[in-house]
Amino acid sequence: MFQNTKCECGHQNPVGTVLCESCGKPLDEKLLKDQDAPLEMRYDGVARRSQKANPHFVDRIWNFFSSVKIAVYLIVITLIGATFGTIFPQESTLINLTERSEFAAFYKEEHGTAGVVYHALGLSRTYESWWFIGLLVMIGTSLVVCSLDRVLPLYRALNKQQIRKHLQFINRQMVTYAGTVSGDGKDWAERFGKELKRKRYRVYQENGALLAEKNRFSRWGPYINHIGLIVFLLAVLGRSIPAWHMDQYLALYEGETRQIPGTNYFVKSVDFTIDYYSDEELASNQKGKLVAKLYETKAVLYECTDACDDPTRDPVLTEVKSHDIRVNSALTYKGLSLYQNSYQERVRFISVHPTLTDSETGQAIGSFDLKMDRPDEEYRVGRYTLKLNDYYPDFGLDEQTRPMTKTREPNNPAFVFRVTGPDVQEKGEIFIYFPMPSEKSKYYEQILNESFKTRGDSTGRFSLKVENPIVDGKMNNIEFSEYTTFLNIRMDKAMPYIWVGAAISMIGLVMGFYWQHRRIWLRIDDGKLSLGGHTNKNSFGLRADVAWALGKVGTEVDPKSLDNRGNVR
Amino acid sequence: MKWWLDFSNDAFIVAFFLYIASFICYAIAIAGKRWSNRKPEDHTARWGKIAFGLAIAGWAAHLAFFFTRWHGAGHIPTSNMYEFMTFLGMAIMLAYIIVHLIYRKVVVGAFTLPLVIIIIAYASVFPSEVQPLIPPLQSIWLKIHVTMAAAGEAFFAVGFAAALVQLIRVVDFGRTDKAGRRAQFWTEFSLFVIIVLIGFIVSVFSFRGAGYEAVFTQETVTIDETGAEHSQVKEVKYSLPPIVAPYNSETVSFQSFVGLKEPLFEAPSWLNGVNAGRKLNTIIWSVISGFVLYGILRLIARKKLTAAIHPHLSDIDPDDLEEISYRAIAIGFPIFTLGALIFAMIWAQIAWSRFWGWDPKEVWALITWLFYSAYLHLRLSRGWQGTRSAWLAVIGFLVVMFTLVGVNLVIAGLHSYAGAE
């Protein structure tokens, strides 16, 4: 299609130009038809980059994403898509479920048929779904393309503005004024310009024509905002780089030290404390309830400096940081953060101080410290040696009712000792010891010791027992943990970029929304004054400026009368 | 401490009545223009000034309420639904005062004041007692995030009020074609929705004043991992006469109300929660009282409510209203972005170890933001200015209200502590 894009002022415009780049005369056929309608001033009427005469295949993709209409569609579809994810809880919030079948069962049980459909459609993972991420990527693409498509031509247009504009351009602005000027037009324009300068306009003049402009920088606000959003979206994508991101949970009982998996760090929960509000502090509908006031884990972070991967030796740990971890106060060290996630009241022994008794003589031989987790291989008590034969941190029985450990956590530890020493049979005496005073473990202890006896491994001579376990209502000879704290260990190397993106975006928004680009053109032809003004936002403020400046040079007008939009709506 | 809280409650009541007085004066300023022996402009200017003065006085009392409560409670009063909604009302007043100082249009006040009155009356439906802060809320970000988010939303509220005036202003009651009738219907419907909200508040306070109560219990049986059955009995108190009982429930006590001696029906099985029935009952009551109120107003006006208001708006330029609505939203958008998204992300990072977790409240804040982004982009396009963008401003505020209230009542999630009982 052939299109003549040369303006009557002699300027050669690119295809797609709405208003002549030089004099501002309307070129678009639609705008020429209705001579009185206000002009379409978007992007100053320049051709966008995508408006080419013969679009190529790549250009077509570019054109698709360069459309604001498409961008709005993408936003609206994303918005509607996001609502789906809030109908029922997302799978990611159900932290104690892992298997697909478990999730399916959860939705079926909790939400019935609707839940089954919800899960089957994949809406239980809306925000990880291919279509949702696809939409976000498309929005990101649209941000880049839309911005590039407009910002460069707009920059060029605003950078080489003509002062004298075509009459049609001036008279079809949203703010207009027409009048007569007695005397020298140049002189009048000079005075008018001076007044506008006081309103911090930049004023350019040329033979009785005037251009006043202020706050042009606000035009770049949207593009800066878009750059910030792109940085933000890229940073979000960056979080999927495995080395950039770590997210794991660690359960620690009081006094426990544990390695943070995948790192060289160890963390110890020295103590966990919780405080509740007293009844006087609570509102009447809360009285009698336990409302937490403060809970915190006194934690110490260690770095392993030697023997870290050596299974035969204990790692050498150096303390690097200690901190009281609270909900709003994490321990942070070199990009690694430990957050208080939750806690559980679960009594667990850390160590006991049992006494070895000879049941034949009824005499106490001696006592020693027995750690529940990672006990020593050998203990010397009096003249006897206790060798640890077997250790079950979390005692249980397997299908053939053989002893086994259910987990590696010392939830209910059992110790099998072989005692050797004076007047003990050659192969020693074997017995099992359960420190936890529960009925079940005491029952197992009895049965298993009976079986050692029948096998001839034991005569039942030795036994271990904590003496005076309770003194004055407090545990004695027993060190125990009351709470298990759950820490969330995080590393997120993308975070700085997220905040930078957000900050850039904010700067752009403030620039774009709290300042407005205002321009006023006027020309005086044989004492006939034509004035036009344009702003992308707040025409109210522009009208006030124009009326104020006109008033200062002796022409009183009502700001409202400058409105050229015709109230057609 | 008690003295401060008592003073705070008194200040709240003073603020409430000053707002009502201000609204009445705004109504007189607009509706009384054609009263005899006065010039319309002078009348509007005079009563508008009185109304604005009363609004300022009300806001001062509101500020007194806020700061004395803060002092008395020892923490900023934005931590539960009552406190947040009263704060939102205060923020809307601030946004209104700013917009008024720019544009000085009496009619915007005439629509913003009732909105504020409804919001703070709605706040009073929730328990107003001071509750101590739970650990997640003990952070400086409670002050920064919540206040900024509310400030942004407040400007959206003013944008909504201006858009609503604009819609009523441009409705053409002479039109009988399909599009014209549709515009008439939906504008009237917007007012009806507001009246239903008033109906809700009126019914809650009437029955609360009368001390009405009905109690139900619901037994639920669950089977745990080991196969053991656990049955749990939950109790629910109704403060409105139960038209709907909770699903699968037993009546414990029931005060009869004008012949209603037992629930008319039971909640359907998909609303199986013990509170779901109570919420459904509340909605039914709101709609009923909304219809009654609307009927009374229609009888007084003897025409559609929009048609009754419309003639008083004839001297206002719809373009100006549109500009006010757009400007309010444009001022609010960066504040909302900062308060409801960026500050929220910072706090979430500090407290929950992740800046974003697709929690329902987070998602709805994002939805609100996307909605207003779409609005701001669409307004650049020809054909979307005027009535269409006014409708978007109205719907946008509905999205805001759902994010603030609906999410807590319907979906909950991590922000559940900010919810109702």
Predicted local confidence at residue B225, as pLDDT:
58
pTM: 0.89
Higher pLDDT: B180 or B222? It is B180
Calpha distance B135→A294 (Å, rounded): 6
- Interchain proximity A86–B131, CB inside 8 Å: no
Smallest CA–CA distance, residue A332 to chain B, in Å, is 11
Residues 512-551 of chain A with CB under 8 A from chain B are 513-514, 537-540
Average pLDDT over residues B339-352: 94
Where on the phi/psi map is residue A376: left (φ > 0), alpha (ψ -120 to 50), or beta?
beta
Q: Above 90 in pLDDT, residue B258?
A: no
Spell out which residues of chain A touch residue B320, defining contact as CB-CB under 8 Å.
540
Q: Measured between beta carbons, which residues in chain B are less than 8 angstroms from residue A279? A: none
Q: Is B351–A539 a contact, with Cβ atoms under 8 angstroms apart?
A: no
Measure in Å the smallest separation between the Cα of A14 and chain B Cα atoms. Answer: 22
Residues of chain B with C-beta less than 8 angstroms from the C-beta of A237: none
B318 to A569: CB separation less than 8 angstroms, yes or no: yes
Q: What is the mean pLDDT of chain B?
A: 89
Instruction: Locate A519 and state its tokens.
Output: 């321009």
Contacts of B270 in chain A (CB under 8 A): 112, 114
Q: Within its chain, how far is the Cα of B95 from the centroid? A: 15
- Cβ–Cβ of A284/B129 closer than 8 Å? yes
In sequence order, the β-bridge partners of residue A405 are A395
Q: Which pLDDT score, from 0 to 100, does residue B421 have?
A: 36
The structure tokens 């719809």 sit at B318
pLDDT tens digit string along B210-225? 888 888 888 877 666 5
Cα distance between residue B328 and residue B372, in whole Å:
12
Query: Class of A169-215+516-562 per CATH?
Result: alpha beta
What is d(CA B120, CA A258) in angstroms, rounded to the nearest whole number? Answer: 52
B14 pLDDT higher than 90: yes
Show residues of chain B in contact with A565, CB under 8 Å: 319
Tokens found for residue B270: 């998909």
Sort strands A257-259 and A518-525 into parallel, antiparallel or unpaired. unpaired
Confidence of residue B340 (pLDDT cuts 50, 70, 90): very high
Residues from chain B that touch A329, judged by Cβ atoms under 8 A, are 350
3-class DSSP state of A402: coil
Size of interface A-B (CB pairs under 8 A): 139
| Backbone dihedral region for residue B339 (phi beyond 0: left; psi -120 to 50: alpha; all else: beta) | alpha
Instruction: List average pLDDT for each run of 10 residues in chain A, which is 569 residues long.
Output: 66 82 79 72 77 76 89 95 91 80 86 88 92 94 91 88 89 90 86 93 91 94 95 90 87 89 92 91 85 93 87 87 94 93 86 86 86 86 88 87 83 89 83 86 87 84 82 80 91 93 97 94 90 88 93 88 66
> What residue spans define the domains of chain A?
48-157, 169-215+516-562, 242-349+482-493, 354-465
CA distance A432 to A28: 96
Interatomic CA distance for residues A282 and B129, integer angstroms? 9
CB–CB of B200/B230 below 8 Å?
Answer: no
The neighbouring-strand residues paired with A252 are: A485
- In chain A, residues with a C-beta closer than 8 Å to the C-beta of B354 are 247, 490
Is A510 in Cβ contact with B330 (below 8 Å)?
no
A449: which 2 tokens? 């010791």
Quick one: pLDDT at residue B420?
39
Q: What is the ipTM for the molecules in this complex? A: 0.89
3-state secondary structure chain B: CHHHHHHHHHHHHHHHHHHHHHHHHHHHHHHCCCCCCCCHHHHHHHHHHHHHHHHHHHHHHHHHHHHHHHHHHCCCCCCCHHHHHHHHHHHHHHHHHHHHHHHCCHHHHHHHHHHHHHHHHHHCCCCCCCCCCCHHHCCCHHHHHHHHHHHHHHHHHHHHHHHHHHHHHHCCCCCCCHHHHHHHHHHHHHHHHHHHHHHHHHHHHHHHHCCCCEEEEEEEEEECCCCCEEEEEEEEEECCCCCEECCCEEEEEECCECCECCCCEECCCCCCCHHHHHHHHHHHHHHHHHHHHHHHHHHHHCCCHHHHHHHHHCCCCHHHHHHHHHHHHHHHHHHHHHHHHHHHHHHHHHHHCCCCCCCHHHHHHHHHHHHHHHHHHHCCCCCCCCHHHHHHHHHHHHHHHHHHHHHHHHHCCHHHHHCCC
**CA A312 from centre of chain:** 42
User: Which of A493, A535, A542, A569 to mutate to test binding with chain B, by most B CBs within 10 Å of its CB?
Assistant: A569
Q: Mark residue A108 as left, alpha or beta (left: phi above 0; alpha: psi -120 to 50; beta: remaining).
A: alpha
Interchain pair B318, A567: CB under 8 A = yes
Closest partner CB to B364 (pick from A86, A337, A567): A86
Contact criterion met (CB < 8 Å) for A506 and B363: no
Give A35's Cβ-side CA count (13 Å radius).
Answer: 2
Between residues B228 and A225, the one the model is more confident about: A225
Q: Specify the DSSP class assigned to residue A264.
A: S
pLDDT at A458: 83
- Above 90 in pLDDT, residue B141? yes
Q: What number does CATH give the domain A242-349+482-493?
A: 2.60.98
Question: B295 to chain A, minimum CA–CA distance in Å?
Answer: 32
**Contact of A537 with A148, CB cutoff 8 Å:** no
Beta bridge partners of B264: none
Paired residues of A151 in beta bridges: none
Tell me the C-alpha distance between A470 and A366, whole Å.
Answer: 19
pLDDT tens-place string over residues B184-198: 999 999 999 999 999
Report the run of H or E that residue A190 belongs to, with start and end. helix A185-198
Cβ atoms of A96 and A342 within 8 Å: the answer is no
Q: A255: helix, coil or strand?
A: coil
Distance between CA atoms of residues B408 and A85, nearest Å: 16
Closest Cβ–Cβ partner in A112, A281, A539 for B323: A539
B373, HSE (Cβ side, Cα atoms, 13 Å): 25
pLDDT of residue B64: 97
In chain B, % of residues over pLDDT 70: 95
* A86 in contact with B, Cβ within 8 Å: yes
Residue B170 sits at the chain A interface (C-beta within 8 Å): yes
